[in-house]
C-alpha cells in the first residue's frame, strides 16, 4: 500500500539520489585531481571530500522534504528555527568555524606544503618553523629547537608568510611520511 501511494515520490527520490551521487563522485574526483596536482596530502583531500558529502546529504534531505509534500512556509519556519539555534550555539565557537573555513580555503589556494620551512611575520610572536601537518583547524609547526607549535588556520591567512626553504625536512615524501 505504501509503495502504491507514494510511487511517484519514490521514483523521484531514486532519481534525486542517483543524480546527487553522480555529482558527488564527480566532485570528489575533481577535488582529488586538484589535491594531487597541488601536492596536497591525502588526509586533507579526504577531509574536503567529507565536507562535500555532508553538503550533498543536506541538499538531498531538503529536496526530499519538498518531494514528499513539505511546503515552503513550513520549511522556512523549520530552517529559521534550526539556524537560530545553530547560530546561538556557534556564536561561542565562531573561531572553530573560521578555522574550518580557512582550512577549506587553504586546501585550494595555500602556496605552502607540508615540509616547507616558513616564516610567519607576526609582530607579537614571529615564527620560523617547518610545516609538519596541515589540519582542519590548525597548522602544526616544528620550531628549530624541536618544539611543536599549533597555529590556527584563520591566523595564517591573515599574516604575511615567507617561504624560507622548500621541503626543509630531509627525506620528506609527499604522502606526509618520513623515509627511514
| Tens of pLDDT, residues 7-38 | 888 999 999 999 999 999 999 999 999 988 88
pLDDT digits (tens, 9 = 90+) for 31-68: 999 988 888 888 888 988 998 999 999 899 888 888 88
Q: Is the pLDDT of residue 178 over 80?
A: no
Distance, C-alpha 92 to centroid of its chain? 20
pLDDT digits (tens, 9 = 90+) for 86-144: 777 766 667 777 888 888 888 888 888 888 999 999 888 899 999 998 888 889 999 99
Distance, C-alpha 171 to centroid of its chain? 28
Q: What is the pTM for the complete model shown?
A: 0.57
Q: Beta strand 127-134 with 138-143: parallel, antiparallel or unpaired? A: antiparallel
Amino acid at each position: 500500500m505504501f509503495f502504491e501511494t507514494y510511487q511517484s515520490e519514490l521514483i523521484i527520490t531514486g532519481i534525486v539520489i542517483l543524480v546527487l551521487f553522480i555529482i558527488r563522485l564527480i566532485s570528489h574526483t575533481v577535488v582529488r585531481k586538484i589535491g594531487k596536482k597541488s601536492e596536497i596530502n591525502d588526509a586533507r583531500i579526504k577531509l574536503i571530500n567529507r565536507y562535500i558529502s555532508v553538503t550533498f546529504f543536506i541538499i538531498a534531505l531538503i529536496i526530499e522534504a519538498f518531494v514528499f509534500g513539505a511546503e515552503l512556509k513550513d520549511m522556512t519556519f523549520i530552517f529559521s528555527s534550526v539556524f537560530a539555534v545553530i547560530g546561538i550555539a556557534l556564536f561561542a565557537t565562531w573561531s572553530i568555524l573560521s578555522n574550518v573555513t580557512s582550512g577549506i580555503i587553504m586546501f585550494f589556494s595555500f602556496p605552502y606544503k607540508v615540509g616547507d620551512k616558513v616564516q610567519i611575520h607576526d609582530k607579537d610572536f614571529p615564527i620560523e618553523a617547518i610545516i609538519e601537518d596541515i589540519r582542519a583547524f590548525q597548522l602544526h609547526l616544528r620550531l628549530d629547537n624541536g618544539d611543536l607549535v599549533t597555529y590556527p588556520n584563520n591566523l595564517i591567512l591573515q599574516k604575511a608568510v615567507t617561504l624560507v626553504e622548500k621541503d626543509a625536512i630531509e627525506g620528506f615524501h609527499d604522502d606526509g611520511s618520513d623515509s627511514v
